[in-house]
Amino acid sequence: MLCGLLLLQAAALALAWDTFVVPHTAGADDTPGLLSLVTNHSSDATILFSKGVTYNIFTAIKFPILTNVEIRIEGNLTYPTSIEEVQAVVGGLQGFPGSWFTFSGGNNVTLRGSTDPKWGWVDGHGQAWWDAVQQVNRPHGWAFSHITNGVIRDMKLFKPVAWSFSTSGSNNLHVFNNKILAVSDTSSFPFNTDGFSAGGNNLLFENNHIENGDDCLTVGSGAHNITWRNSYCEGGHGLSIGSLGKGGAVADVQNIHIESTLMKSCLYGARFKSWTGGNGLARNITWKDIAFIDVPFPIYVTQNYWDQGVGPKPNSSDTLNNTHIQDFLFQNFVGTIRDKPYVEGSCVSDPCWYAVPNATGREVAILDLYPGTATNVVVKDVFATTQTLRPVAVMCNSTAVTNDVGFKCWNGPFIRTKAGF
């Protein structure tokens, strides 16, 4: 009997899952207390930011390796309001871990926000940075790195300084119900406020809401088996693969499925970008059921991404190495192309960094490809109109891609071909 009780107690202890509340001191930096708490309880624990408290995350944190841990954000979190204070941390001699919140790895880790609309916000005070066009020593937001079996849910970022989430080196993640609001209240632009930077394997992103000033999703080299669906992107630079192959890098991106997303007033809808001189392969990538409203470049593929500031666009006839692309499908794209004159907020050069020579502004698809490096690129079930109701156009060079791309491959009006139905 006694023995049985002890066994029960032992079992209860083994299953013990405790919740630990992050300590808070008004006016002081709560990061050291947070780090101490997580270090003390890096397994089988919930680390709770309490509702009703605004925590001061005045310095960056690098979490230890975590096992069976939930970081639960029911309170608000605030960065320093002072740009200089953040810059001192990012540029500091102590060594900045790369992001304001950096995970270094672990198993079964959940990062969870609040469903209360008033609480659970992480406020980066980005507006001051955007207004000052301050781009020195900007911190990335959340690096959910090297986690196996992880969840990011219900997180809410308000005015992040720049880049929001990245998942490099992680496996088996579910990232859902998150919200990023990187919207400027002034005419200044929220530069580099990327939403989700997807790296790693077997990741599912869904039901995310992003309003920002750069890529909504960006899939980097090394990413495999990634699904993104049922989401909303507004104001940014599209559902992107890349950029790949910068500085001769060898890319490897495979099995990416992007589906059911509304692109509202974004510069791009679906986008692929690789630099000339790179190498490697991006294959089996599908963008499907994409609705777009007020988007200048609904489908844009370039193997010739380059830095306008550095010199002229490399000639596509040069036989440089290139990231090969294979089996790209753009299916069921419905919406309106922005063809009224406008200048996107990130344009600070003349011509703009996104200007395409000889484009009419009415292109539903631009395929800027290198001969012999692109196979099986198909665009089908496209239903697009322009805001001015002028005919929809395309750009495509038939010497660079030999399969039926779903429309007449030329620089001219959009004419559907067999593969396009």
- Interacting residues toward ligand NAG by CB under 6 A: 23, 33, 36-37, 40, 68, 70, 76, 108, 110, 118-119, 121, 123, 158, 201-202, 224-225, 248, 255, 257, 277, 279, 284, 312, 314-317, 320-321, 357-358, 371, 397, 399-400, 411
**Cα–Cα distance between 195 and 217 in angstroms, integer?**
6
Provide the annotated active-site residues. 237
Strands (E) in 308-416, as ranges, are 324-337, 363-368, 374-386, 393-396, 412-413
Partners of residue 73 on adjacent β-strands: 49
Alpha-carbon distance of 192 to 325, in angstroms, equals: 26
CA 145 – CA 115 distance, rounded (Å)? 24
Min dist CB 385 to ligand NAG, Å, is: 25
Cβ contact 272:297 at 8 Å: no
What distance lies between CA 353 and its chain's CA centroid? 20
The C-alpha atoms of residue 167 and residue 139 are separated, in whole angstroms, by 16
CB of 84 to ligand NAG, least distance (A): 20
Helix, coil or strand: residue 5? helix
Nearest to 414 by CA among 388, 398, 395, 394: 394
Pick 70 or 363: Cβ nearer ligand NAG: 70
Write down the least CB distance from residue 81 to ligand NAG, Å. 11
Q: Are 195 and 180 in contact (CB under 8 A)?
A: yes
Q: Which phi and psi angles does 201 have, rounded to 5°?
A: -125, 145
- Find the shortest distance in angstroms from Cβ 40 to ligand NAG: 4
Q: Which two tokens stand for residue 263?
A: 């692109």
For residue 8, the minimal CB distance to ligand NAG (Å) is 19
The smaller minimum CB distance to ligand NAG, of residues 93 and 370, is found at: 370
417 within 8 A of 404, measured Cβ to Cβ: yes
